[in-house]
A and B are shown apart, each in its own frame.
Chain A
Amino acid sequence: MLPHSLLGLLGLLALCKGQQETGEAESCDNFTDLNLSHCFMGTSLYVRLLLYTRSNLDCGRELDHHRPSSQPLFNLSRPTAFVIHGYRPTGAPPIWIDHLVHLLAEQQDMNVVVVDWNKGAANLNYFIAVSYTREAAYNLTGFIGAMQEEGASLSSLHLIGVSLGAHLAGFVGANLKGKIGRITGLDPAGPMFTSATPLERLDPSDAMFVDVLHTDMNSFGLQGAHGHIDFYANGGADQPGCPKTIFAGKSYFVCDHQRSVFLFLCSLNRTCSLTGYPCSSYSHFLEGRCLQCETFKPASCPVLGYDVSQWRETLLRLGQTKVFFSTTATLPYRKLNYRVDMVTWNQYLRWGVVYIRLHNGRNFTEVRIDQKRLRFEQYTSTRLLAQFDEDLQQVQKISMRINTGNVIGPRYKIRLLRIRFTPLGRPERPLMCRYDIIMEENMEVAFRPLPCNSHL
């Protein structure tokens, strides 16, 4: 009896071990990988929820839709972020998904749930994918309901939706009566949603706090404002560095739209801090009319990314806020912004565009402010926004040139009493001033800036 039972026990143990081993090997549930043929054939909706936590960053675990806590790694007392992708015309997993999961897990010890509805989103026919969003939203709503029953709080949930996924997140939020903690919409999809009512798309009532980033409003993105705060990168339409013609192939279509994800990733990574300035339009922003951050005092203007929730209370009080910023074409996307104030003593009104170059001894960075001709009126401050692509520290020399657009006739002179460069978003950097300058048209004037001194 004894040897028999021993043998049986051993056998059982071995079986268990084997199961465990095979279980571990198979338990990585990764994003559904489809190919173009699936898209041609069309796929029907199938939602998978893949859990990633700090202890399984590279190995997703599929969650049971009805019993979330059956997965031991899913700790409902931690906050949970849902990552929702959009339309997948090729069926391939999004290239940013792993990066986003890793960076989210770095922010906070939380559950990252990738909502994999690739089966459904992978259809050549975009309209089918659109029609599946409602269904997928109901599915996810059900899961969140189950989470709630098992003790999770809605306010600790954060839905991050990309493109069509942003509207999906909005639907989930609406289903849950807007009690979800936060929804982040990364360039909410435009096609089929342009004339949608707030109920039919992402809107601020879908969550307690909704932040949206726009990068491609003129094609795949949706125009307008959809969150408590809407960030418009480079005006929310064409992004620098993205191809302008169809000859560039696929990137012509996706570059602008995808930039929203890359900007968000870069802000999660802390490699770029992009400050948005509240303004009514991008052209007003470029004209330097919206560089005040008094509304947010003592904080600065809102910074794009995960930590924008710092501004939550102020933003909720303000209702809906549109903020603007410009980026460069590549990482770290950030531009060095200066507010430039000039006062002239010219008797007669003059108009002109300005070129400014900053030198730090080794290299220089140049900007041309020509969106609009600037108005130089006697004893009146002319303000402009100078956005330099390169961040030069320790500026040693500034050169300027002015062009009044006067082809024939005399060369005008602009006589400045004072010019002041205020670095924006860098309170530690000194203000730079220069006094008593004469700029002859099209002639470069170089000077050494002095620290503006206010003590007098």
Chain B
Amino acid sequence: MDIELQAIGENGKDGATCSPNERVAAGNGDGGASRTPDTAEKDGLLFGQPASSNGETVSSHHTTEAQRTLGNTFCPRKMNSVCRISRERVRLLLIIICIVVLICAAIGISLAMCAAINVDGDDNFDSSSFKVPRSFNGSFQLPNRVFTEELSTLSSNESQALAAGLQEKLDHLYRSSPALGRYFSKAEIQAFRNGSVVIADYQLTFVMPEEQQDQLRNFTLSREMVYNVFRQFLYDQEADESGGQMYIAPVSLNMLLRL
């Protein structure tokens, strides 16, 4: 600013010196001459500024180059402290992350363990303590079988085969029942009779623990439950087995508690 003001002042003086000269050419020439220092000064100002800034950038380039050439081992004095702080921070961050991950893992593992170890009390039972028998008798019809004399004697091949097939069916259905499976002992086909179709007499035997007997009798091993599990099985397979030899008509099923 000072320089500029000075320049204008000089300029003004030049103007004052040249104004008394009335020659146009000289005046012109003077004017031209008087203008030059102005422009030169301006130029100088213009040059000066970029030059100084350039100089600065160049110098900074040099420092970075120096850093590069000297390698990472060297930290300029100013940067040195920053480097140390950031390294400490990174270390701290890493430690925190590790701790968080560890906690998460611990929680996850313990949850998984819990879920794995947790045994549903209802899945646990000791079948050796089941001693009290409970039996049901009943009959059902096989509408797709024709009664033959051979079926009336249980020792015959035909009746043995049919009885085995039916027993397997009953076995399977009661063993796979979530509520009754554990108490199921055996299913027997006792006889085949001749109705309009073949009638089979069966007997189911369950064994139950001594404790909780009354509740089991009234609920899980009630006639309603044992009967309906059978009936439900027959209903479910009705669609795909209604043509088979072993087909049992659901409506023909009856069951009584054997005392």
Contact = CB atoms under 8 A, between A and B. Distances in A.
B34 to A, nearest CB: 80
A435 B228 contact: yes
Given A415-B122, A436-B177, A450 B219 contact: no
A125 B201 CA distance: 84
A318 B219 CA distance: 38
Task: Place the interface of chain B in its size category.
Answer: 20 to 34
Nearest to B121: A347
Main secondary structure of the interface of B (DSSP, over half): helix
B179 interface: yes
Given A347-B122, A417-B219, A409 B178 contact: no
B128 interface: no
Interface string B103-122: 00000000100110010111
B229 A345 contact: no
Contact of B178 (A411, A438, A456): A438
B219 A343 contact: yes
A234 B172 CA distance: 49
A268 B102 CA distance: 70
B223 interface: yes
Given A450-B231, A450-B232, A410 B219 contact: no
B205 to A, nearest CB: 18
A346 B215 CA distance: 13
B122 A436 contact: no
Task: Place the interface of chain A in its size category.
Answer: 20 to 34
B178 A415 contact: yes
A343 B118 CA distance: 24
A261 B191 CA distance: 68
Nearest to A411: B115
B225 interface: yes
Given A345-B122, A418-B225, A456-B224, A436 B114 contact: no
Interface string A431-448: 001111110000000001
B225 A417 contact: yes
B225 A410 contact: no
A343 B220 CA distance: 10
Interface in B90-134: 111, 114-115, 118, 120-122
B178 A379 contact: no
B122 A346 contact: yes
A415 B178 CA distance: 8
Contacts of A378: 215
Interface of B: 111, 114-115, 118, 120-122, 177-180, 215, 218-220, 223-225, 227-229, 231-232, 235-236, 255
Given A415-B122, A435-B228, A436-B225, 8 more contacts: A345-B122, A345-B179, A413-B120, A415-B179, A435-B225, A435-B229, A436-B229, A436-B232
